[in-house]
Amino acid sequence: MSLIDLAAVSFAYGRGRKVLDGVDLSIEAGRNLGIVGESGSGKTTILRLLLGLAQPTSGKVTFRGAPLDPRNRPFMRGFRRSVQAVFQDPYSSLDPRQKIADIVAEPLRSLNVETDIDAAVAGALASVDLPPDAAGRYPHEFSGGQRQRIAIARAIVSEPELVLADEVVSALDLTTRIRIVELLKSLSARTTLALVSHDIGFVALLCQDLVILEKGRIVEQGTARDILSSPKHPYTQRLLASTPRLPEFA
C-alpha cells in the first residue's frame, strides 16, 4: 500500500528555475525509501513537498491516494499524526527553553491526541534508549547524539506510519552515527522510514528502495540491492565511488 506519492512533480522557488523536474516516486508502507543526491540536487525540497510544507508548481502529491491539501484541516490533522519528521541539526531543532517531556509531547498536544501523555513520552524515551529522568531535563544537558534521539522520540510519540528524516546522522561523529543507524533499524520494525541523504552508504544500510536524484531529476530508482550491485547511471556510479563504506548483501 502506498502512503505518499509524488506524480510528475515539478517545483520552482518563486519565479526561479525548476529545482525539481517531473519527479515520480512512491513511499510504500513497510519499505524504507532512501532519497540520495549531492548537495543542491533537491532532496530537502522533496522532503518539504512530502511534508506538505510546500506545494508543487505542477504535478500532484497524494497521501493514501488523496491530494495533500493544507486547507483541509481534518485531513491534515490525520496526515500529521501519520507522518512525522526528524531534521539534520540536533542543536537547532529542539527548543532550548522547553523540558524534554514537553518537546517530546508536542505532537500529541498540537494534534489533540487523547492519550496518557506522560506514559506516551516515557514510552518514546525508552524506545530511543534514554533514561526516564531525561523527561525533566533541558536540551543543553544532552550530547548531539542524545539530542537526535530526543528528536526521534518526538517523531515517533504519535505512532506515525511514516517518519521522514533529513540528513539525520551527518552532524554526528562516526560512533554516534552507528548507534543512530542501529536505533533507526530497530524503529523500522514499527514505522516506515524515508531518509534523505547525500550518503548512499548510510541510506543503503536502512532502506530497501533507493531514488537517485541529480539536479532535480530522478536518474535511477530501484532496490538498494540492485543499485548497489549494478548502478546503471554514471551519476550513481560516481556517488558509489565516493562512499567509503557499503553494506554487504550476502
Ligand X SMILES: Nc1ncnc2c1ncn2[C@@H]1O[C@H](COP(=O)(O)OP(=O)(O)OP(=O)(O)O)[C@@H](O)[C@H]1O
CA torsion sign for 83, 89, 90, 94 is negative
The CB-of-48 to ligand X minimum distance in angstroms stands at 8
Provide the 3-class DSSP secondary structure of residue 248.
Answer: coil
Q: How far is the CB of 217 from ligand X (least distance, A)?
A: 12
Q: Whose Cβ is closer to ligand X: residue 41's or residue 221's?
A: 41
At its nearest, how many Å lie between ligand X and the CB of residue 132? 35
Q: How far is the CB of 11 from ligand X (least distance, A)?
A: 8
Nearer to ligand X, 104 or 198 (CB): 198
Question: How far are the Cα atoms of 13, 19, 39 from residue 16, in angstroms, in the given order?
Answer: 5, 8, 18
Nearer to ligand X, 85 or 124 (CB): 85
State the CB neighbour count (10 A cutoff) for residue 120: 19
Measured from the CB atom, is 16 or 136 closer to ligand X? Answer: 16
How many Å apart are CA 122 and CA 135, to the nearest integer? 8
* CB-CB contact of 226 with 233 (8 Å): no
Residues that bind ligand X (CB under 6 A): 13, 16, 19, 37, 39-45, 198
Count CB atoms within 10 A of the CB of residue 227: 24
Cell 521522514 found at: 164
Residue type, 22: G
Query: What is the smallest separation between the CB atom of 50 and ligand X, expressed in angstroms?
Result: 12
Q: Which of 140-178 are b and which e, b meaning 16 or more Cβ less than 10 Å from the residue's Cβ?
A: eebeebbbbbbbbbbbbbbbbbbbbbbbbbebbeeebbe
Q: Which is nearer to ligand X, 53 or 66 (CB)?
A: 53
Q: How far is the CB of 139 from ligand X (least distance, A)?
A: 23
Return the C-alpha cell found at 54: 510546500
Q: Give residue 102's Cα distance to chain centre.
A: 22
Considering beta carbons, is residue 191 or 197 the nearer one to ligand X? 197
**Of 87 and 142, which has the nearer Cβ to ligand X?**
87
220, three cell numbers: 535511477
Q: How far is the CB of 47 from ligand X (least distance, A)?
A: 8
